[in-house]
């Protein structure tokens, strides 16, 4: 794998009680194993207690918006574009804490370095687009960008090209114009694109639709294409490990029982 030139940073954010220092440390360890290029790991947080000493930290301060509004769209995520945090890094990768790293992350940074702009995890505007196989979208990435909005669970970017996303944020204007941070980023980023389909994927999308889920339980195997698997809502990764896992997922995509590769991952990075 060709390495990036210059230094990269990987960012995450923790505030309040939904996630703990353990979650940050686990992501840090997984990134260290899956990103063999020179990088700093930075946590933007209101509480540094318990974080691995090798993690760089930056105080979470977002005065542009009253704290009562922070969670309605996760607007403090815009701190990933704050020049005080990311200036000087050639490339940056933001990761939410509710995900597992399942493949090498270097391609996510190389995509940004080679083409510039900003990349988001794919979020298709309609089911009909998501149903199309990834091999098709690999051939027509421009078309895919037109039918996706982007998910800010994973964001890759060139910092110096995106400072305006933090500098120009105006709560009075932008909360009316955009539903949440990812819509704002999708709409205002310079050269917004999305990563290839299934590089970053929700755990529920590894489960076949009913009734095929009753026969083909592919989610039991560690997926080969995804580099990141997201656990938005329920179940969380911890809820898919152990002996007493029952049914989970949605009505149309119902999963059954624990997932071995998830349990192995948690055991490896929880130490």
Here the tokens at position 138 are: 């690999």
Percentage of the chain modeled with pLDDT above 90: 65
Give me the pLDDT at residue 249, please: 87
Is the previous residue joined to 235 through a cis bond, with omega within 30 degrees of 0?
yes
Is the previous residue joined to 184 through a cis bond, with omega within 30 degrees of 0?
no
What are the tens digits of pLDDT across the range 152-161?
A: 999 999 999 9
pLDDT of 1 over the 60 cut:
no
The more confident residue out of 249 and 14 is: 14
Whole-number Å distance between alpha carbons of 86 and 167: 13
Give me the pLDDT at residue 85, please: 97
What are the tens digits of pLDDT across the range 50-95?
A: 999 999 999 999 999 988 888 777 999 999 999 999 999 999 999 9
Give me the pLDDT at residue 127, please: 79
Q: Are 94 and 77 in contact (CB under 8 A)?
A: yes
Give which of 73, 105, 98 is closest to 185, Cα–Cα.
73
Give which of 92, 97, 95 is closest to 81, Cα–Cα.
92
Q: Are 92 and 78 in contact (CB under 8 A)?
A: no
- Three-class HEC string of 3-14: CCCCCEEEEEEE
Whole-number Å distance between alpha carbons of 219 and 222: 7
Collapse the DSSP code of 177 into the 3-class scheme (helix H, G, I; strand E, B; otherwise coil) and give the result. Answer: helix
Whole-number Å distance between alpha carbons of 182 and 94: 12
Q: What is the mean pLDDT of residues 20-47?
A: 97
Q: Are 230 and 121 in contact (CB under 8 A)?
A: yes
Q: Are 196 and 219 in contact (CB under 8 A)?
A: no
Here the tokens at position 230 are: 């997201």
pLDDT of 121 over the 80 cut:
yes
Give me the pLDDT at residue 220, please: 79
What are the tens digits of pLDDT across the range 181-225?
A: 999 999 999 999 999 999 999 998 888 888 888 887 777 788 788
Q: Are 94 and 139 in contact (CB under 8 A)?
A: no
């Amino acid at each position: 794998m060709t390495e990036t030139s210059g230094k990269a940073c990987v960012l995450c954010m923790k505030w309040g009680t939904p996630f703990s220092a353990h979650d940050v440390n686990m992501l840090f360890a997984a990134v260290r194993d899956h990103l063999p290029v020179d990088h700093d790991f930075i946590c933007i947080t209101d509480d540094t207690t318990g974080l691995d000493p090798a993690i760089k930290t930056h105080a979470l301060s977002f005065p542009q918006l009253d704290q009562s509004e922070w969670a309605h769209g996760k607007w403090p995520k815009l701190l990933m574009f704050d020049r005080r945090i990311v200036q000087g890094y050639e490339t940056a990768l933001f990761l939410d804490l509710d995900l597992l790293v399942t493949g090498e992350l270097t391609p996510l940074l190389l995509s940004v370095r080679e083409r510039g702009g900003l990349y988001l995890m794919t979020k298709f505007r309609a089911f009909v687009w998501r149903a199309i196989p990834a091999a098709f979208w690999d051939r027509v990435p421009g078309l895919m960008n037109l039918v996706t909005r982007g998910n800010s669970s994973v964001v890759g970017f060139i910092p110096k090209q995106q400072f305006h996303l933090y500098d120009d944020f105006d709560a009075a204007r932008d909360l009316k114009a955009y539903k949440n941070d990812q819509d704002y980023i999708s709409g205002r980023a310079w050269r917004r694109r999305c990563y290839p389909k299934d590089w970053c994927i929700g755990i529920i999308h590894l489960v076949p639709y009913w009734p095929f889920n009753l026969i083909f339980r592919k989610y039991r195997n560690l997926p080969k294409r995804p580099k990141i698997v997201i656990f938005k809502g329920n179940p969380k990764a911890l809820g898919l490990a152990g002996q007493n896992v029952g049914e989970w997922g949605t009505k149309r995509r119902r999963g059954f029982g624990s997932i071995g590769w998830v349990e192995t991952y948690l055991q490896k990075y929880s130490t």
